[in-house]
Structure 1
Amino acid sequence: MSNDVKLLLLAGDYVEDYEIMVPYQALTMLGYRVDVVCPGKKVGETVLTAIHDFEGAQTYSEKPGHLFKLNATFDAIDTDDYLGLIVPGGRAPEYLRLNPRVIEIVQAFADRPMAAICHGAQLLAAAQVIKGRRVSAYPACKPEVELAGGTYVEVEVTDAVTDGELVTAPAWPAHPTWLAQFLKVLGATITI
């Protein structure tokens, strides 16, 4: 595959480290061009990431992650140029959902391939694109999914849910399943 097939990834400061790094690297390795953007930032600037882990507490722990260099400018994107959208979790969706342009972008992908993981469901709920759909997310997002008219699906942390062209998962341990399901939605076939 050439880098003619473009995917858009919405990022923000304190995006979950694995949930931005792994999809970006895996999809790029497969030949997709993945443009990573953040409101108010330009190509070459960075977002701070956070590492969330499950260490036996009642919720995840958070540690400083890496800097992720953006490879596209938010204000320059045209959603018509992209086949699909990736929405990683972490704390970024919490504030990104307050940006009207971010909401417009998510809405533009309502009927196209879209993959959201963990707290990415906060953006889906705010954009009102999950009504009547089955959605997985980090368990703390269940009320938001349901208030937005979605059906929250509780799955193992290593599993994912596909509803039409929407693929969702609870957290980064689901990457193998989540990405495999997203590739099917994108129409990709991988043979080894």
Structure 2
Amino acid sequence: MTDAPVARRIHIIQGEWKIANDPNAVLTTILGSCVAACLRDPVAGIGGMNHFLLPGNSSMPMTGGDATRYGVHLMELLINGLLKQGARRDRLEAKIFGGAKTISTFSNVGEQNAAFATQFLRDEGIPIVGSSTGGDHGRKLEFWPVSGRARQYPLTGAETQKTVAMEQQRPAPVSKPVESSIEFF
């Protein structure tokens, strides 16, 4: 009898995106009003996740670290990153999570984030095979990019408030890309 391999946890924070093709990798994040899009190519055995704070659109000026807050930027980076690693656009499938209304007195940016992700994927022709958005509590999310399995845990009221506080902070500035990299807008 052999021991099962230990999952390699890769945590994603607001403004990040990651890709993995390791069957033991699990991408994790904690969401309040933010949304995470989980995309994968089941044939190529590769997938990834992003975590964005605001929907954004192509008419908004985005520079430096500010761009990483917006879904429009992170969705493009995730899709192009997957394609660069061997995924095919016509085989991509998606799951979306998050978008809670964590503070009742604020506008419902979570709902706007979820609607943006849904519309963006529809416009790109990427089917959404699963989603869990909305509600009034945050969630902890785990996504296995090779199998496409996803699991979420509801956060308690105190954990949600901590997540809201983290979402309201500005992300650290992103370092300049290496000369050989390509930046998509």
Query: When the two structures are superposed, what TM-score results if normalisation uses the length of structure 1?
Result: 0.30
Largest Rg, 1 or 2: 2
Query: When the two structures are superposed, what TM-score results if normalisation uses the length of structure 2?
Result: 0.31
